Amino acid sequence: MELSEASGPRDTQVLLATTEAMELRRRDYHVERPLLNQEQLEELGHWGSATRTHQWRTWFQCSRARARALLLQHLPVLAWLPQYPVRDWLLGDLLSGLSVAIMQLPQGLAYALLAGLPPVFGLYSSFYPVFVYFLFGTSRHISVGTFAVMSVMVGSVTESLAPDEAFLLDLNSTVNKMARDLERVRLASTLSVLVGLFQVGLGLVHFGFVVTYLSEPLVRGYTTAAAVQVFVSQLKYVFGLHLSSFSGPLSLIYTVLEVCWKLPQSVVGAVVTAFVTGVVLVVVKLLNDKLRRHLPLPLPGELLTLIGATGISYSVRLKHRFGVDVVGPIPAGLVPPEAPSPQLFAKLVGNAFAIAVVGFAIAISLGKIFALRHGYRVDSNQELVALGLSNLIGGIFQCFPVSCSMSRSLVQESTGGNTQVAGATASLFILIIIIKVGELFQDLPKAVLAAIIIVNLKGMLMQLTDIRSLWKANRVDLLIWLVTFVATILLNLDLGLAVAIAFSLLLVVVRTQLPHYSVLGQVPDTDIYRDVAEYSEAREVPGVKVFRSSATVYFANAELYSDALKQRCGVDVDYLISQKKKLLKKQELKLKRLQKELQKQAAASKDTPVSIDVNTSDGNIKSNNMEGSKAEPL
């Protein structure tokens, strides 16, 4: 108590001393400098053209050090793997890889269904791209593989270009599923190759900065709308319905209307299976949240549900007794590589570019979050190359486009993962499942996979709460979020992304057209200047007007800047210029009249010398010899 009482006067003295020091530093403002034109300034500053360094010359320089630097830059695994601390990190990476593989198995099967492909291709997409990213990626914590947003974008392409109606048998309305699946796999693998080519090309030309134009509200609004698209696409498996394939604008609305129309035809067994699966998954996730501190690894609810549902379906024969649709035969082993179909490039180029940009935006945003948290750097251009090679090589092995998953990345980090050794471990576990275990899941109900997808959408659907937070924080960002969300819902994923980016860029232009202008004043007893309209105690410096604009002046807002400057400073420069021109014109006329009078006087007094000095700057006329001025006329 005594210490606090003693510190009170000391603080007061320090404050008074600071105030006195500021008061002593205050001086009358006097700004003075000579007027210089450009030539004088260049002569005074000894201006000379800067020496240009041609970057292209360094590209063709060849040396051992440069070759090694390029190799380590484009193959980062050679830089960090030799320095890998086996004792400290290996156990954590192995446990983390096992946890991610346990999640990746059900998600791979489910997201392949979301992409309109047989489930085994989700396992392929969880193996090849992950191992390629292990070699070329720079993020140590993101989990590359199947992702809901990417899968639904792929599904919109495969279902629009290879709809069920195109594979109906002649005699009845039965769909030739084998021919349909083969065509959709060809489309998806070719799309993956094209996405990879876009990403690798953009990465090599250092186009990674493009993600800066995808603001956080845009990405979050887009992923939220994509989550709604995913949710609606899984309703046909939850209710056991056979729906028509819709594509293009308003396809989501048409799908919802058809689901509502066919609800009386729902398969009760599929509804019960999906409901029970969803409840079990939610309960397990709640237990994991509550027992997080006491469990070394989270409970593998999805894997346990997958195994339990497959066993129940096989023993009860859900497909035959209750009409529940199941996954069907899953071939064991890997498929041979297959070249893409170049004739499909023209049909897929627009969707491929959209998928490439969205996949990279999701991956680099998560990668930078983890890098900031753990103190390392992520190279955006190399990430583009790594993702591109993952999709390019994966497409050759009949995978569909992938990105990184937020839920698996969080699990990889929280379970002790330190490097992409965890990702390589997860891919090896997936390889064992593909070769030996995958065929055991042929009796797995599709309603279970749909329930897994819907439960995993919780994180993205919770982004709907952004509306409330953005309303309080920044309503311009809220407008971007809402436009992105509505456009993606109504126009589908590809057109929605294009509209969102166009609107965001338009809003940037509008912001530069309508910046915040302010006149600054000095806060008393400080050297701080603030807007006099916002700070009532701020006072303008006499004789000085400090004007500030929140945007850079360029041709599009130069006139607005000039108008605001005239309005805030209270000086109409145009009026002053016009008055100056009138004054100069009057002086010029007066000068001409005086010159005429002097000429007349000179002609009248030819014999008397007259010396005249005319000052054109102020219009005054000086006569050095006024003897002739009083001469009498002849």
| Calpha distance 159→113 (Å, rounded) | 12
- Using DSSP bridges, classify how beta strands 517-522 and 529-531 pair: parallel, antiparallel or unpaired: antiparallel
Q: Which residues of 476-486 are buried (b: 16+ CB within 10 A; e: fewer)?
A: ebbebbebbbe
547 DSSP 8-state letter: E
pLDDT of residue 393: 95
Mind listing the pLDDT tens digit for each residue in 176-207?
888 899 999 999 999 999 999 999 999 988 88
Mean pLDDT of 20-43: 66
pTM given for the model? 0.74
**634: pLDDT strictly greater than 50:** no
Mind listing the pLDDT tens digit for each residue in 243-280?
887 777 888 999 999 999 999 999 999 999 999 999 99
Mind listing the pLDDT tens digit for each residue in 309-360?
999 999 988 888 888 888 888 888 888 999 998 899 999 999 999 899 889 9
The whole-chain average pLDDT of the chain stands at 84
Lowest mean pLDDT among 287-301, 505-519, 620-634: 620-634
pLDDT of residue 3: 41
pLDDT of residue 486: 95
| Calpha distance 211→361 (Å, rounded) | 6
pLDDT of residue 422: 93
| Calpha distance 368→142 (Å, rounded) | 10
Q: Which strand (E) or helix (H) includes residue 390?
A: helix 380-396
Q: Which strand (E) or helix (H) includes residue 144?
A: strand 143-145
Three-class SS state of 84: coil
pLDDT of residue 617: 46
Mind listing the pLDDT tens digit for each residue in 559-590?
888 888 888 877 777 788 888 899 999 999 99
Which residue type, as a one-letter code, is found at position 13? Answer: Q
Answer whether 129's CB lies under 8 Å from 391's CB. yes
Please list, in sequence order, all residues whose beta carbon lies within 8 angstroms of the beta carbon of residue 213, skipping any fewer than 6 positions away: 501, 504, 505
CB under 8 Å, gap of 24 or more: what pairs does 179-185 form? 181/117, 181/118, 184/116, 184/117, 184/158, 184/159, 185/117, 185/118, 185/121, 185/398
Confidence of residue 9 (pLDDT cuts 50, 70, 90): low
The residues facing 549 across adjacent strands are 517
Mean pLDDT of 88-114: 89
pLDDT of residue 260: 93
Mind listing the pLDDT tens digit for each residue in 368-397?
888 888 888 898 899 999 999 999 999 999
Confidence of residue 4 (pLDDT cuts 50, 70, 90): very low
| Calpha distance 67→372 (Å, rounded) | 29
Classify residue 1 by burial, with Cβ atoms within 10 Å: 0-12, 13-18, 19+.
exposed
- Using DSSP bridges, classify how beta strands 612-614 and 529-531 pair: parallel, antiparallel or unpaired: unpaired
Confidence of residue 420 (pLDDT cuts 50, 70, 90): very high
Which residue type, as a one-letter code, is found at position 71? Answer: L
Please list, in sequence order, all residues whose beta carbon lies within 8 angstroms of the beta carbon of residue 473, skipping any fewer than 6 positions away: none
Confidence of residue 99 (pLDDT cuts 50, 70, 90): confident
297 DSSP 8-state letter: S
**630: pLDDT strictly greater than 90:** no
